[in-house]
Chain A
Amino acid sequence: MKIGRRKFLGKGSAALIGLSLKNEKKIAGSFVNEAAATGHLLRDRTPFPPASQAVKIPVVIVGGGISGLSAAWRLRKSGFTDFVLLEMNAEAGGNARSGQNEITSYPWAAHYVPVPGSRATYVRELFTDLGVLKDGRWEERYLVFAPQERLFLFGRWQDGIEPAVGLSQNDKEQFKRLEESFRKYHATGAFTIPVEEGLSQKSADLDQVSFADWLKTQGFDSRLLNWYMNYACRDDYGALARDTSAWAGIHYFSAREAEELGPITWPEGNGWITKRLLERVGQNIRTDQMVHKIFSSPRGVRVFANDTEYRAEFVIFSAPTFLAPYIVEDFAPLKNFTYSPWLTANLTLDRLPDSPGAEPSWDTVFLDSPTLGYVDAMHQSLRTHIDRTVWTFYWALAEGTPSQNRQLLLEKDWNYWKEAIFRDLERVHKDIRQCISRVDIMRMGHAMVRPSIGAIHSEERAALKRRKGRLLFANSDLSGISIFEEAQYQGVEAAQAVLTNLKGSR
């Protein structure tokens, strides 16, 4: 038999390619926890059916994320039980929701809480209540196990996320100088968690310039330093440094006391806190309740959810504030509330990928990736032998405008995002397609509030935080920073305001 040269070459290269393209593994999965369709009923002002029943109840909490759950926790802890919490989704938890499969439970969004400083008294109170803080000692199994974080850069792994490899003398000096600068800002006492504790006009001018511009004017031009600052902004705010106010960028690094303990976490992330809170306040919660209209007057508040009208003395509005103009009668449009779109995915791994040169860590980040990397749900497992796991993959769509990215989130199908995730992971884990059997993706158009320029010190925000009247706002977006501590703070504060007002009115 004669084989032509071309044909031979064709066969030869096919054989060569066949060696590198291992047999394609079937990957299951879908979009999950979709909320856009329900939410858009409000946006599009779709008419809702009239109420068919009325319920009289002193307090209604709208929204079952950490803010609403914390308000409920404070009410019940104070012995007040005559309230109802209305949650739009089938499950409460908001950004602290979690899922579970046969391998482990895993987070859907927020996945840790830093060890709270002395001023975060509500968080310390909650953690004492939940057994996380016992006799002045943090429960060891809830602290992140070592090794915590790793960064892949320049073809290798390093411990920790702040770049420590391939730094020039100039890079090192800039990192040091910036750290020094953050230390000074910390000492001013203006940067605190909760934000409200330290907020002062003294540092308000930092809120009028972008973090990127601030870095530039301070002479920080190191590429690695700027990557790290952008990473921090994407991680906590879902935004690039140029879309974040300098005040918020500095807050990220200056608000916490130097802590030797790593953050507090659980396999299901902050879903663990949600579960514990549900054990305490679950009986007051009504899920699948779409609050579509609220009328507030000096005599009381009428809340319409599905086909029920609640007649309340006070309402705590724990849902994201951007919903208020669509729900609350005569509510002026908001100017200082921007939200970042996010995508999270839970990846089921039937085996662990080869990653030579690195111990499996809790949090893995790749230098120069548009994504935020992934967190390993089995990292907090007490087992010594781990052969399967779930990774939670985080992606704040920070490049471009939020509305463009929301459009992109809605338009592209599951396969598009799955491939995008794989391409990102393949930069480092070449065999990842052979490891993953399932990819579930959650799209969040308004995942977190963005501390844009001027937002945190805006009068609009200050007015909402004063909590006058019968409709009290309580979402973490009032702080301007979407973190657990702020959500809990706003929720508890609102609950306390309600308790005080109720006492006064009786």
Chain B
Amino acid sequence: MGILLFLTILLVAACGLIYELIAGTIASYLIGDSVFQFSTVIGTYLFAMGLGSALSRYLNKGLIQRFIWIELMLGVVGGFSSAVLMWAFAFTEGFQVVLYALVVVMGALVGLEIPLLMRIVKDRYSFRDVVAHVLTFDYLGALGASLLFPILLIPHLGLVRSALFFGLINAVVALWSSFLFAPQLMERKGLRAACLVVLCLLTVGIAKAKQITATAENNIYADEIIFSKDTHYQHIVLTRFKDDLRLFLNSHLQFSSRDEYRYHETLVHPGLAAIPLAKTVLVLGGGDGLAVREILKHPQVDKITLVDLDPEMTRLFSTQSLLTALNRGSLHSPRLQVINQDAFPWIDQNRDSFDFIVIDFPDPTNYALGKLYSTAFYRAVARHLSAQGFIVVQSTSPMFARDSFWCIAQTLREAGLQIFPYHVYVPSFGEWGFVLAGTHNYVPPKTIPAGLRFLTPEGIPLLFQFPPDMAPLPMPANQLNTQVLVRTYENDWKDISH
């Protein structure tokens, strides 16, 4: 009896600590700022435990029965706590409310356990021994749990199943308590039936844990995920909601099929249509084939070279039917050559010359990408430009990242080019900016390909006007040895997300 009793205490203590750790970990994962999350979760939890202990004085009769019910409640609440928190984050806006409510409920239930147990065993041992034994096993259980959590549970079971597993332990403790204390229990059948129900519930939960997390993650991307792949280079996610396809690379939105035409028409035609008899075009980045789709609208262009790092990206956009419908099979054009290589080394080694060069890289979110926005890179690109040619660079938002936009413009200027910055409104992005650059003056085109949905010859000159809130700022050029753009970009977005 003694050993089993203390094992019960040990297990109960372990469960209590695990729920606390799980709540803290999930809050840190989902919201970040782990110091804040852990501090407040632990604090609230301990406070609720105190509340539970205080409440224990109001429980007078049927202590064992009450203890078993508490175990069962804790098994359900704690066991499903992970799943509930993930769902709350994915489907509601009140994640924090749910988080602290759960922490208070679990803490209070855990706080009830030890006082009740002490009172249950108080007649068997002296007061001195009760306190010593109960607290010893309580702390031992906590130690075990705190070691198991990072070493075994998180890596092998994951958060959802760890919680369910410990819920199961609470339920088992409840069931065996009904045997352990059988002589003192009036009514056993009902209690044991309740235990079995809870056990079943948690077992089903464990079996379905995968689906629980999948549903929640599905919703964190807001829409149905139709493609998700970790390639050698990036994490590609494609989502669809009704007729809206969205592409995310490393969680950054690349386009929405509803308004990407605004972006890609504006990226390509103001520059390309202004070059008389442009024959050769180079696209750097842009593995989605959408810029190529626009370029193909210029019949005089007879050779397009697309350099994109990730073969998975160009494969996906040349095979997936929704995507080939979007880019009109541009990646299959006989006028196109696809090269899957890193852009900077490629541009360094290649000797061809191009009439129009489209640079459509992801925003400079890290030092690796920052290299592709440097004076060294633009100098290397400029060597490929024919005398009449232009370069166009996707240059992030002149509205949300105004410093970054003008930093990119200044970088092109420092690379020895004349610059002609412009911008467009893309609803899913907001105001978006581009910089045209070349070795001679730019005159907006009088004619552009027929059938465009957004651009008109009359509208093009207007794109080059910047209202005061996006007007030029004096910025340094971005160089490989300074990488000022990466820091500037980080600050720009930090400013608006606060």
Bound together, the chains give a CA A261 to CA B371 distance in angstroms of 17
Closest beta carbon of chain A to B62's beta carbon, Å: 37
Contact mask A405-418 → B, CB, 8 Å, 1/0?
Answer: 00000000000000
Within 8 A of A (CB), among B335-365: 342-345, 348
Residues in A with CB closer than 8 Å to B155 are 19
Please give the residue numbers on chain B whose beta carbons come within 8 Å of chain A beta carbons, in ascending order: 151-152, 155, 232-233, 309, 342-345, 348, 366-372, 374-377, 379, 479-483, 486
Partner of B348, one of A20, A147, A382, A385: A382
B480 and A140 contact, CB distance less than 8 A: yes
B344 and A382 contact, CB distance less than 8 A: yes
Residue of B with least CB distance to A384:
B368
Residue of B with least CB distance to A139:
B376
Closest beta carbon of chain A to B349's beta carbon, Å: 10
Within 8 A of B (CB), among A92-150: 140-141, 143-147
Interface of B is mostly: helix
A145 and B481 contact, CB distance less than 8 A: yes
Closest beta carbon of chain B to A362's beta carbon, Å: 10
Bound together, the chains give a CA A108 to CA B377 distance in angstroms of 29
Closest beta carbon of chain B to A440's beta carbon, Å: 26
Pairs A–B under 8 Å by Cβ, sample size 21: A16-B151, A19-B151, A140-B375, A140-B379, A141-B480, A145-B371, A145-B480, A145-B481, A146-B367, A146-B480, A146-B482, A146-B483, A359-B366, A382-B344, A382-B345, A382-B371, A383-B342, A383-B344, A384-B309, A384-B342, A384-B372
Closest beta carbon of chain B to A215's beta carbon, Å: 32
Bound together, the chains give a CA A140 to CA B480 distance in angstroms of 7
Q: A140-B480, A145-B371, A146-B367 are in contact. List 4 more A-B contacts (CB 8 A).
A: A140-B374, A382-B342, A382-B377, A384-B372
A140 and B345 contact, CB distance less than 8 A: no
Residues in A with CB closer than 8 Å to B348 are 382
Partner of A385, one of B342, B370, B375, B379: B342
Residue of A with least CB distance to B233:
A385
Residues in A with CB closer than 8 Å to B233 are 385
Bound together, the chains give a CA A401 to CA B342 distance in angstroms of 49
Residue of B with least CB distance to A380:
B480
A386 and B151 contact, CB distance less than 8 A: no
Given A140-B376, A143-B480, A385 and B371 contact (CB-CB distance below 8 Å): no
Q: Does A160 contact B (CB under 8 A)?
A: no
Residues in B with CB closer than 8 Å to A261 are 481
Closest beta carbon of chain B to A165's beta carbon, Å: 17
Q: Does A469 contact B (CB under 8 A)?
A: no
- Scoring A19, A145, A146, A384 by chain B CB atoms within 10 A of each residue's CB, the highest score goes to A384
B369 and A384 contact, CB distance less than 8 A: yes
B481 and A144 contact, CB distance less than 8 A: yes
Within 8 A of B (CB), among A359-400: 359, 381-387
What 8 pairs across the A-B complex have the smallest Cβ distances?
A146-B483, A382-B344, A143-B481, A140-B376, A384-B368, A383-B342, A145-B480, A141-B376
Contact mask A251-265 → B, CB, 8 Å, 1/0?
Answer: 000000000011000
Closest beta carbon of chain B to A144's beta carbon, Å: 6
Interface of A is mostly: loop
Bound together, the chains give a CA A261 to CA B375 distance in angstroms of 15
A359 and B367 contact, CB distance less than 8 A: yes
A384 and B371 contact, CB distance less than 8 A: yes
Residues in B with CB closer than 8 Å to A141 are 376, 480
A147 and B367 contact, CB distance less than 8 A: yes
Residues in A with CB closer than 8 Å to B377 are 382
Bound together, the chains give a CA A382 to CA B348 distance in angstroms of 9
Residues in A with CB closer than 8 Å to B376 are 140-141, 382
Contact mask A145-157 → B, CB, 8 Å, 1/0?
Answer: 1110000000000
Bound together, the chains give a CA A387 to CA B480 distance in angstroms of 20
Bound together, the chains give a CA A146 to CA B487 distance in angstroms of 11
Bound together, the chains give a CA A386 to CA B377 distance in angstroms of 17
- Scoring A16, A147, A385 by chain B CB atoms within 10 A of each residue's CB, the highest score goes to A385
Closest beta carbon of chain A to B149's beta carbon, Å: 13
Residues in B with CB closer than 8 Å to A382 are 342, 344-345, 348, 371, 376-377
Closest beta carbon of chain B to A163's beta carbon, Å: 22
Closest beta carbon of chain B to A148's beta carbon, Å: 8
Residues in B with CB closer than 8 Å to A381 are 345
Partner of A384, one of B344, B375, B486: B344
Given A19-B151, A145-B371, A383 and B345 contact (CB-CB distance below 8 Å): yes
Residues in A with CB closer than 8 Å to B344 are 382-384
B152 and A19 contact, CB distance less than 8 A: yes
Closest beta carbon of chain B to A32's beta carbon, Å: 28
Residues in B with CB closer than 8 Å to A146 are 367, 370, 480-483, 486
Bound together, the chains give a CA A386 to CA B366 distance in angstroms of 13
Closest beta carbon of chain B to A460's beta carbon, Å: 41
Residue of A with least CB distance to B151:
A19
Residues in A with CB closer than 8 Å to B232 are 385, 387
Residue of A with least CB distance to B478:
A146
Bound together, the chains give a CA A4 to CA B87 distance in angstroms of 44
Residues in B with CB closer than 8 Å to A386 are 368
- Scoring B368, B375, B481 by chain A CB atoms within 10 A of each residue's CB, the highest score goes to B481
Residue of A with least CB distance to B369:
A384
Bound together, the chains give a CA A64 to CA B345 distance in angstroms of 32
Partner of B151, one of A20, A140, A143, A385: A20
Bound together, the chains give a CA A382 to CA B345 distance in angstroms of 6
Bound together, the chains give a CA A385 to CA B342 distance in angstroms of 7
Residue of A with least CB distance to B148:
A16
Closest beta carbon of chain B to A116's beta carbon, Å: 16
Bound together, the chains give a CA A382 to CA B374 distance in angstroms of 11
Residues in A with CB closer than 8 Å to B369 are 384
Residues in B with CB closer than 8 Å to A383 are 342, 344-345
